[in-house]
A and B are shown apart, each in its own frame.
Chain A
Amino acid sequence: MMDLEFSPQQEAFRQECREWLRANVPRGYKSGDTREGFQQHLQWEQELFANRWAVVSWPEAYGGRDASLMEWLIFEEEYYLAGCPPRITQNGIFLLAPTIFEYGTDEQKDRILRPMAAAEHLWAQGWSEPNAGSDLANVKSSARRTDGGRLLTGQKTWCTRGAFCDSAFGLFRTDPDAQRHKGLTYFLFPLKADGVTVRGVERLDGDLGFAEVFLEDVFVPDQDVLGEVNQGWYVAMSTTSSERGLSLRSPGRFMATAARLVDLYRRSRETADPALRQAVIQAWIDTEAYRWYTFQTATRMVDGHNIGAESSLTKLFWSDMDIQLHETALSLIGDLAELDEGSDSAVDGGDWLKGYQFSLAGPIYAGTNEIQRNIVAERVLGLPRK
């Protein structure tokens, strides 16, 4: 039977999350995509881990609380509504970890997961290459057999926070003769080792959020292959589905943005264009739609359904919504909207401009929205590929 209320246990869990997060939320951090801000966020992550809030949905053995999917969604709501900072560990805990849980050996789980959750070992993603963006299967970086492992050579790019992280995960060609999607293997590889050169790249907002990674005969032992050799594409797809779906962008962060937008509207309605009221209301309803869509999806997951290509619908929705939320805020701010975080006169410390620039990346990363629309059309609606 449908029941859209949380159980007493879930409400108690929410209350516990809320109390701890509101009592401990850090303030005044710099962006996590700068060197100084990264160190601040590291401290926060370590404090989260010490109190077992870093990875609530993981087994207790790895530092989690065995929280259910619904409880994890509750945690996320409370996390962002309390005003807690973005997770610099997200590429590890939300993208790599689900793949390790699914494909990793026990040795890999024991070695990798705890330090990842504790922010002792930081992970970057290494999907894209200069000629493999939307066309990810065009990966050219290679892995050559050597004693006890492989030698990686090639170039990865747009690695989020790659300039600050310890390791990365990505696809390398292990069988040059196989067809595109075959012959790829999923590797975990070091960013601080012989043969690795990391060059930070400024993002749109000027932060050093990207990196290019150049690899030349970088040794990776066999134990750092995730899943089977030459099966990397299929292993990777399980991660991309997490990235597009719930795990990366749960409703909580957008609900928090909408609440801040409503607050901004109340402060600016004396001066703002009255037509913006409708835009604020619409944006608020959008976040409600996303929240309830998510509970619907989560129920299906709890019932054992595989979400698969429908995660592309989720990604299309949240990425568009995030831009709408921020565009509406910038319109409310009016001519002060151009002031960035360096300006004393910036409204809300320039957060809206910062967030707007970040939101503009949403339709690009995790597979562009054009690719997502193709996936929806072909795999959900059943339209022909060619």
Chain B
Amino acid sequence: MRFAFSEEQLMFRDAVRDLLVSECPPDVVRQAWENSSGRTADVWQKLASQGVPGMLVPESAGGLGLTELDMILVIEECGRAALPEPIVETAFVAPALLVGDVDRLGRIVAGTLAITAAPATQALFPFADGADELLVIGDHGGGLATLPGGAATTTSVDRSRRPARLAGYMAAGDQVGDAAGARLALNRGALGTAAYLVGLGASMLQVTVDYAKDRVQFGKPIGAQQAVKHHLANALNRLEFARPLVYRAAWSLANDKPDAGLHCSMAKVYANQAARLVSRTALQCHGAIGYTTEYDLHMWMKRAWALEGSWGTTADHLDRVGTSVVDTPGRAA
């Protein structure tokens, strides 16, 4: 039993963090709210130069041939930056269903193919304006359809999301992958989103702690008030207990454990709950300044709201855990 990341995994994380701090500051996220694609101009290319989109692509197809465990902290960093790119969909989910598709995998590695994805049971898919292809994941595999660009059909509270209804795409497209690939893709979707939510939460909490140290009322920083301290301590608590469930699920996927799906569901439940509490806490501790669109916090908060319902809601994943643990004799403990 050893529950810690390796030096290499932490170094990869730090390199991605450094890149995103310099290349994806809040202004870049804000641009994706207003531009035609809902994505960044060039951050995806820069991530590709570090190998990020191809982390899970086999070396035989030009990727890094790494595992979910190697990539989980990288996704968390993308969440910290609120990176408006299909990191979970293209880099984490899609390779599960594109086994042997050397052409597409090669373009993922090069950063020239952006694939958005969603479970067939979902009403919406994101990145409809900026992704090249859509992967719809059913029980027996995926369906791949080309997106024309500018395909968003509706608006999200997070203006960089660019959602479209899935209904029009269900029948179309090439069939890719198999049932096992589909299961893996769904688990990766839930887990990747959970890691991204933890990153969003960590960032919102940090911004709020900094603000609470800085903002003076009644002659002292508001962070010296116990009411504010207790809010922030509770938020940290939920976030810190979500992490081990996320990391453990990543280890289980990387090691093909039979209960990996269950572990991914637990991770999504906890990440959803942590992100919701942190975002409410962040808003409350900021006061009115946090309740404007001029201040950056809202972009992180709204991304968290959007992701809470993606790749399975809290209720969906609780039910999945329940079916396996609570309803079936002999499983608990």
- Chain B, interface residues (CB within 8 Å), range: 35 or more
Q: How many Å lie between the Cα of A5 and that of B242 in the bound state?
A: 20
Contact digits for B237-269, partner A, Cβ 8 Å, 1 yes 0 no: 100111111011001100000000000001001
B217: which A residues are within 8 A, CB to CB?
Answer: none
A278: which B residues are within 8 A, CB to CB?
Answer: 315, 318, 322
The answer on a CB contact under 8 Å between B333 and A255 is: yes
Given contacts A277-B322, A293-B240, A378-B229, contact A383 B245 (CB under 8 A): no
Tell me whether chain B's interface is mostly helix, strand or loop, or mixed. Answer: helix
B234: which A residues are within 8 A, CB to CB?
Answer: 316, 373
Instruction: Select B332's contact among A259, A282, A290, A302, beta carbons within 8 Å.
Output: A259
Q: How many Å lie between the Cα of A280 and that of B332 in the bound state?
A: 11
The answer on a CB contact under 8 Å between A377 and B326 is: no
- B151 contacts chain A at the CB level, 8 A cutoff: no
B226: which A residues are within 8 A, CB to CB?
Answer: 370, 373-374
Q: How many Å lie between the Cα of A378 and that of B212 in the bound state?
A: 12
Q: In the complex, what residue of chain A is closest to B257 when comparing beta carbons?
A: A4
The answer on a CB contact under 8 Å between B270 and A281 is: no
Q: How many Å lie between the Cα of A2 and that of B209 in the bound state?
A: 31
The answer on a CB contact under 8 Å between A380 and B224 is: no
Q: In the complex, what residue of chain B is closest to A294 when comparing beta carbons?
A: B244
A1: which B residues are within 8 A, CB to CB?
Answer: 2, 6
Contact digits for A62-95, partner B, Cβ 8 Å, 1 yes 0 no: 0000000010000000000100000000000000
The answer on a CB contact under 8 Å between A262 and B325 is: yes
Instruction: Select B245's contact among A255, A277, A288, A303, beta carbons within 8 Å.
Output: A288
- B69 contacts chain A at the CB level, 8 A cutoff: yes
The answer on a CB contact under 8 Å between A383 and B213 is: yes
Instruction: Select A373's contact among B1, B212, B230, B245, beta carbons within 8 Å.
Output: B230
- Chain A, interface residues (CB within 8 Å), range: 35 or more
Q: In the complex, what residue of chain B is closest to A80 when comparing beta carbons?
A: B333
Q: How many Å lie between the Cα of A285 and that of B6 in the bound state?
A: 26
- B82 contacts chain A at the CB level, 8 A cutoff: no
Contact digits for B177-208, partner A, Cβ 8 Å, 1 yes 0 no: 00000000000000000000000000000000
Q: How many Å lie between the Cα of A384 and that of B225 in the bound state?
A: 9
B241: which A residues are within 8 A, CB to CB?
Answer: 289-290, 293, 317
B232: which A residues are within 8 A, CB to CB?
Answer: 377, 381, 383
Q: How many Å lie between the Cα of A274 and that of B233 in the bound state?
A: 33
- A101 contacts chain B at the CB level, 8 A cutoff: no
B223: which A residues are within 8 A, CB to CB?
Answer: 377, 383-384
The answer on a CB contact under 8 Å between A292 and B244 is: yes
The answer on a CB contact under 8 Å between B233 and A281 is: no
Instruction: Select A284's contact among B5, B251, B252, B326, beta carbons within 8 Å.
Output: B326
Q: How many Å lie between the Cα of A78 and that of B133 in the bound state?
A: 51
CB proximity of B206 to chain A, nearest CB, Å:
9
Q: Quick one: which of A4, A256, A384 has the most chain B CB within 10 A?
A: A4
Q: 3 closest A-B pairs (Cβ-Cβ)?
A: A377-B229, A259-B333, A292-B244
Known pairs A289-B244, A380-B233 / 15 extra A-B pairs, C-beta < 8 Å: A2-B251, A4-B1, A5-B1, A278-B318, A280-B322, A295-B244, A298-B1, A299-B1, A300-B4, A317-B237, A380-B236, A381-B229, A382-B209, A383-B228, A384-B221
- A residues within 8 Å of B by Cβ? 1-7, 10, 70, 81, 255-256, 258-259, 262-263, 265-266, 277-278, 280-282, 284-285, 288-290, 292-293, 295-296, 298-300, 302-303, 313, 316-317, 370, 372-374, 376-378, 380-386
